[in-house]
Amino acid sequence: DHSGVSFLGMGNADADYSSRPSSARIYDALLGGSHNFSADREAAKRLLAMLPAAGEMARANRAFLHRAVQFMLDAGVRQFLDIGSGIPTVGNVHEIAQSRVPDARVVYVDIDPVAVAHAGEILRDNRHATAVQADMRFPEAILGHPGVRRLLDPDRPIGLLLVAMLHFVPDDDAYPAVERLVASLPPGSYVAISHGVSETAADAATDGVADLYRRTDVSTATGRSRAQIMRFFGDAVLEPPGLVWVHEWPSGGDGAPGDMAVVAGVARKP
Ligand code: SAM
């Protein structure tokens, strides 16, 4: 039941989504949010048993998202495409961006119907932001979506955010989809990526974590190596300090992972 068609809203495979945990709602539970069901909280509990730093990682990741958006705003970016945006929580991209630039444009994209419905409610009176339900494995559906076309000017720099989401997408889908998305961006655009990395103490938990996520709406949860993560940036040029532990961007650090199993970087398209 993982065909893209059902996720685009044309099938009914997800009708019973409250009994099956979703990656969006597990993450919301880790962050202490309230838009999750008991199945999600159970899964979050099991995840924490295997990966005690999961909550800390989620918070550090959220803080990275915040800094990456500020960085892009400083660089003059006024429109954002946030794919795998998750359930709205404190410090959403439109809040960060529109507090500095009231007419900054933000399009949220997520596969999870609960995430998109909740974002839609929050954005009801916001003319410059919208939420779209789509699967990133089908980038044409995202790029051609009326909400995207209405809000994002393809001739001006765009901040593409793929934050803590690509590890839920298998290689055969993820690489071509990201390549297509990055190719669509005009020069001067930025790409922010954070990603689970498989080089740390978290490796011990890898099988259990993958098994847990196989029972959710995503078919995989795989850390990648730094080299594999770097490939996603394509021809975009990484800003200093490069691809680093998520809590060390952009200040850099001692390179010790601590309990982190997530790396992050921001690149600029020449
Ligand atoms: N980007 C947010 C952040 O970093 O705070 C949320 C990250 S959350 C861990 C991952 C999100 O990716 C979930 O909301 C999940 O529904 C979404 N997701 C997973 N696979 C997806 C896909 N193929 N297309 C779109 N969204 C996807």
Which residue is closest in CA terms to ligand 1's atom 10?
Answer: 165
Q: Which amino acid is at 36?
A: N
Question: Is a pLDDT exceeding 80 seen at residue 55?
Answer: yes
From the list 196, 225, 229, 228, the residue with the least C-alpha distance to 213 is 196
Q: What is the mean pLDDT of residues 188-199?
A: 93
Q: Tell how far the Cα of 31 is from the centroid of ligand 1, in angstroms.
A: 14
C-alpha span between 244 and 255 (Å, rounded): 7
Closest CA to 108 of 100, 117, 119, 118: 119
**What domains, with CATH codes, occur in the chain?**
4-268 (3.40.50.150)
**248 in helix, strand or coil?**
helix
Instruction: Report the alpha-carbon angle 79-81-86, nearest 5.
Output: 130
Give the three-class secondary structure for 79: strand
Q: Is 86 in the pocket of ligand 1 (CB under 6 A)?
A: yes
* ipTM for this prediction: 0.99
Is pLDDT above 60 for 202? no
The burial of 175, by beta-carbon neighbours within 10 Å (0-12 exposed, 13-18 middle, 19 or more buried), is given as: middle
Taking alpha carbons only, the member of 254, 240, 5, 87 closest to residue 264 is 240
Q: How confident is the model at residue 17 (pLDDT cuts 50, 70, 90)?
A: low
Say if residue 94's pLDDT is above 80: yes
Among 43-52, 90-99, 181-190, 252-261, where is mean pLDDT lowest? Answer: 252-261
Cis check for the bond before 139: say yes or no (omega within 30 of 0).
no
Whole-structure pTM value: 0.92
Q: Three-class SS of residue 241?
A: coil
Question: Is the Cβ atom of 64 under 6 angstroms away from ligand 1?
Answer: no
Q: Three-state SS for 1?
A: coil
Give the dihedral sign, CA 239/240/246/251.
negative
**CA separation for the pair 237, 171 (Å, rounded):** 22
Confidence check: pLDDT of 44 > 90: yes
Higher-confidence residue: 4 or 23? 23
The structure tokens listed for 212 are 């847990």
- Is pLDDT of 43 > 90? yes
Average pLDDT, the chain: 90
**Rounded CA separation 261/263 (Å):** 7
Q: State the pLDDT at residue 207.
A: 80
Task: Residue 183: count other Cβ atoms within 10 Å of its Cβ.
Answer: 12
169 close to ligand 1 (CB < 6 Angstrom): yes
Per-residue DSSP letters for 193-219? EEEEBSSSGGGGGHHHHHHHHHTSSSS
Dihedral of the alpha carbons of 109, 48, 57, 36, in degrees to the nearest 10: 30
Q: What is the distance in A from the centroid of ligand 1 to the CA of 165?
A: 5
> How many A from CA of 108 to the centre of ligand 1?
10
pLDDT at position 1 = 29
